[in-house]
Amino acid sequence: MCVYIAFIEMVYDLMDMIVVIWEVNFSGVVI
């Protein structure tokens, strides 16, 4: 169970990083 929770946290961290990178690239293209 602990491994499952750690995996979920890792996925959330990865998603946050992807969103930040996407926002930076998108704003750079638009503005």
pLDDT per residue over 1-31, tens digit each? 678 999 999 999 999 999 999 888 887 766 5
Q: For the whole prediction, is pTM greater than 0.85?
A: no
Number of structural domains (the chain) is: 1
CA-to-CA distance for 14 and 19, rounded, in angstroms?
9
- Domain hosting 18: range is 1-31
Compute the radius of gyration of the chain from its Cα atoms: 14
CA-to-CA distance for 25 and 22, rounded, in angstroms?
5
At 31 the pLDDT is 52
At 27 the pLDDT is 76
CA-to-CA distance for 8 and 1, rounded, in angstroms?
11
At 2 the pLDDT is 79
At 9 the pLDDT is 95
Residue 18 structure tokens: 């992807």
